[in-house]
């Protein structure tokens, strides 16, 4: 009981940080939701829902990735024209690029933690399988590391 109360208080204090991660979107804790969700209400206001149990399972990088993914769903209107599974990949790409740019995706371990956060879902009408999402993340990470190494090599070069 005390533990649950402590968690609730901790989550309440944490909420402003979550909201700041996706400015303008209302951040809502929803027990029993199962995971997280981002979108827009009929009046155009943006929201992100997070199940506190799901939140507790994730590492800081996993949390940031899911927040960034849901934030992309809430704001990237052009993605809504995509086929729903592609919309998921597009939100993953946004979150990945944001993580690299902001510096919270820096190591292989971070990518592993994000794959963990994506779970083990099989493909559905709306979502690609967790496996495919994870695979695409590793692919983006490999491309990023390759580009990064090439840039370093060029810096060491001696152009005439
Ligand atoms: Zn999504």
Q: Where do the structural domains in the chain lie, given as residue ranges?
A: 2-152
Question: What Rg, from alpha-carbon coordinates, does the chain have?
Answer: 18
Ion ligand 1 residues within 5 Å by Cβ: 88, 91
CA of 152 to the centre of ligand 1 (A): 34
- Both tokens of 74, joined, read 């809430």
Conformational region of residue 58, where left means phi above 0, alpha means psi within -120 to 50, and beta covers everything else? beta
CA of 13 to the centre of ligand 1 (A): 25
Instruction: Give yes or no for a contact between 46 and 22, defined as CB atoms under 8 angstroms apart.
Output: yes
Whole-structure pTM value: 0.86
Per-residue pLDDT of 74-101, as tens digits, reads: 999 888 888 889 999 999 999 999 999 9
Write down the pLDDT at residue 32.
Answer: 96
Write down the pLDDT at residue 6.
Answer: 63
List the strands of the sheet with 46-50, edge to edge. Answer: 25-29, 46-50, 36-40
Write down the pLDDT at residue 83.
Answer: 85
Q: What is the pLDDT along the chain (160 residues), one digit of tens a residue?
A: 566 666 665 566 567 788 889 999 999 999 999 999 999 999 999 999 999 999 999 999 999 999 999 999 999 988 888 888 999 999 999 999 999 999 999 999 999 999 999 999 999 988 899 999 999 999 999 999 998 888 777 766 666 6
CA of 3 to the centre of ligand 1 (A): 31
Cα–Cα distance, 51 to 79 (Å, whole number): 24
Write down the pLDDT at residue 3.
Answer: 64
């Amino acid at each position: 009981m005390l533990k649950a109360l402590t968690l609730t208080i901790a989550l309440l204090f944490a909420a402003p940080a979550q909201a700041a991660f996706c400015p303008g979107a209302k951040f809502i804790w929803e027990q029993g939701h199962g995971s997280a969700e981002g979108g827009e209400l009929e009046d155009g206001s943006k929201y992100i829902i997070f199940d506190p149990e799901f939140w507790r399972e994730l590492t800081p990088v996993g949390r940031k990735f899911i927040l960034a993914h849901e934030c992309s769903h809430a704001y990237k209107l052009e993605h809504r024209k995509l086929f729903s599974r592609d919309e998921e990949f597009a939100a993953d790409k946004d979150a990945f690029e944001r993580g690299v740019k902001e510096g919270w995706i820096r190591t292989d371990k971070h990518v592993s933690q994000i794959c963990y956060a994506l779970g083990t879902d099989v493909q559905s009408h709306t979502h690609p399988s967790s496996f495919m999402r994870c695979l695409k993340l590793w692919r983006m990470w490999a491309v990023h590391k390759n580009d990064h190494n090439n840039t370093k090599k060029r810096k060491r070069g001696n152009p005439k």
